[in-house]
Amino acid sequence: MPLLDTRVPAVLLRIDQNPFHHGTLGAVRSLGRAGVEVHVVADSARSPVHASRYVRQMHPPPLPGASPDDILGVLRRVADRIARPAVLVPMDDACAVAVARLRNELAPSYLLPTMPGTLPERVADKAELAAVCASAGVPHPMTLVPDSAARAAAAARQLGLPLVAKWSRPWLLPAGSGLRSTVLVRSVQQARELYLRTEEAGSRLLLQAYLPPGPNRDWFFHGYADHSGTLRAGGPGRKRLDWPRGAGLTAVGCWTPNPQVQALAERLTGELGYRGIFDLDFRRCGTTGSYHLLDFNPRPGAQFRLFADSAGLDVVRALHLDLTGRPLPNGAPMAGRTFVVENYAPLAALRAVPGGRELAWYAPDDRAPGWAMWGLWCRHVSRRLRERLGATAAAPEAPRLIPRASSPSLTDNEKASS
């Protein structure tokens, strides 16, 4: 008998149009290799995912910023095409929040974990996360949510500089606005100016104490809470390399046992009554040694395939097994296993790893997405270079100062400010 119930298809839903979202490809391969029919509701024009041999069909996704009714309409059309109940896997926060809200309307056609419909929205909202952590006794950086530009400036002075600014619901940020979900703020004026863009951002601005990065300080935990609330699959991982450096996504991660991170994940999901897949990000404080929760994502993390155990179980397979009433196998953790995103860490992708390694894009049994990614990545890098060179060429040339013979030369700082 196959591990998963191959009579039940899976539908992966992603509104985010990032073509380099390798987590979607990981879910396609994980389920497809187990014999599950996989449908993907996502942008197919630019994504290498559509080239995977394990995709049964790509479906047009809702547009960014789509309303819950729009998302419901798309999922109903997909359900009509499939014509039998399917496991639904949201792959970004916007989808996870919408699907939780629509659970009752989707239930006849889709299998979903049972939990309060507002819970994914609550944990994904970065302004609400501080209260969630406080109620569960999980460390979290000091966070202030100003209600005016003046209070944003006062909060910046209180927290100290630099500090971290975040939009509480980054999935609402309008495309082309230039606003980023997370920014390192270095001045009081910058905090004030960010607050003035609150209406444009579509959610509240929060200001957070900055925990500096450092060796072995960035950790994550991917897990699946089954119908009884027991954590199955997944585990703690250490971020060895990120992109961009210091505050980016995991480019190289390693499955590393960490009882403290494990205990925090169990405490938090247990207190909340959470059910389903989740992805937590932690940073260890260099002064106290405590692990602070930075983000709670109510969906699979992009590097979830790092935590494929000796039985082949990962969080996406755990979801499918649990929702179809099948037992979850008890595999052994594969500590030391490494996950590498080739386009962000090409040298790491070439090195041998004693504990085993999985690449985000390349796979011997599914080569086409890897080739498609490299073609897309080269065009992306070339375009960015042209944009930077164009911006440099368009900038007016600064007047050249010719100092008198008796004048002292400029210091490096003075050159930078002139």
Beta carbons of 28 and 46 less than 8 angstroms apart? no
Burial class of residue 385, CB neighbours in 10 A (0-12, 13-18, 19+) = exposed
Whole-number pLDDT of residue 44? 80
Residue 401: predicted pLDDT: 44
Can you give 212-278 as a three-state secondary structure string? CCCCCCEEEEEEEECCCCCEEEEEEEEEEEEECCCCCEEEEEEECCCHHHHHHHHHHHHHHCCCEEE
Block means of pLDDT (10 residues each) for the chain, 418 residues, are: 94 94 97 98 90 97 92 98 98 96 96 94 96 95 97 98 97 92 96 98 97 94 97 97 82 97 97 97 96 98 97 98 97 96 95 90 97 95 90 62 38 34
Residue 275 Cα distances to 145, 247, 272, angstroms:
28, 28, 9
pLDDT score recorded for residue 408? 34
Task: Please give the single-letter amino acid code of residue 17.
Answer: Q
HSE-CB at 291 with a 13 A cutoff on CA atoms is 22
Q: Is 248 exposed, middle or buried (0-12, 13-18, 19+ CB in 10 A)?
A: middle
Q: Are 86 and 39 in contact (CB under 8 A)?
A: yes
